Amino acid sequence: MDTGLTRTYQVELFFDERPELDQEALRKSLKARVGIVEPLETGEQSTDLLAFFLHNHAVEFKGGQVPVQTAMHLVEGPPNFDKLAPALGQSFHWTGAREALAGCRYTMLIHDLWAIAMPYKARMELFHQIVQAVMEIAKPRALYWPLSQLLTEPGDYLASQELEPKDLLNGAVSLRFFHVDGRPGEMIVDTLGLAVHGLPDVQCHFAGLDPNEVGSHLYNIAHYLFDHGDLIEDGHTIEGTMPGEKWRCRRELSLVGPERVVLNLDTGTIR
């Protein structure tokens, strides 16, 4: 069961051709976004593995302060479609995802190190800046966020980061829709991605409601939890999708994997 913070946050960028990553160009792109940056010597010089100290983002550990690090690892080979199956099955927001991935032959993994000690919002803000710095140098066909099992289209992702305020949950949190086997008319909608920040994901099992309206409502609640913290207690009620409607909240284990603690919203439509 997912019970807390992830040690490394990560995203995978897919390319149809080998991206040319110049260490100095990437250092400058990172510096413009996150401050003082120093390349980390990784032994054999290779553009397949680049790593950097982010000196403006130090965290406290028992032995003293440590600068957050980021690394980019490039591997050759087509996407693993078995691993991507859950994301592709929920890619209602991007119908061209499979087509975009089909021609890809390189994958770049970007991840952070030591950032677990940062406040979760600051960590997510920093990670988005790292991803955008890389995307200024290399142009991927698709992004995959393993911790939320979400595929995002590069243009849509970048547009979400130009909003004010920025949508820090774009990529970080997915909204998923499931029909309940053997129970016609029943659905489960949940979020995936908050648990790795130490927050509850949101879940709703219902019948007779518009799933798009329920999904939009859950995504708004996910934003509230991310912005304000885990403030909704068991027994609290929140507004439903209809005026005057109240949904009762309670922490439960998720109905759909990965197993994690979720904030379940009882709509009163399931008996």
Quick one: average pLDDT of 149-166? 93
Quick one: average pLDDT of 240-269? 94
Quick one: average pLDDT of 11-17? 98
Quick one: average pLDDT of 123-147? 97
**Distance (Å) of CA 162 to CA 129, 159, 209:** 11, 5, 33
Give pLDDT tens digits for 69-78: 999 999 999 9
pLDDT higher than 90, residue 160: yes
Q: What is the pTM of this model?
A: 0.94
How high is the pLDDT of residue 4? 58
Residue that has been written with the tokens 């774009």 in this structure:
170
How high is the pLDDT of residue 250? 97
How high is the pLDDT of residue 242? 86
Q: Is the peptide bond preceding residue 184 cis, with omega within 30 degrees of 0? A: no
What region, left, alpha or beta, does residue 43 occupy, with left being phi > 0 and alpha being psi -120 to 50 degrees? left
Give pLDDT tens digits for 188-214: 999 999 999 999 999 999 999 999 999
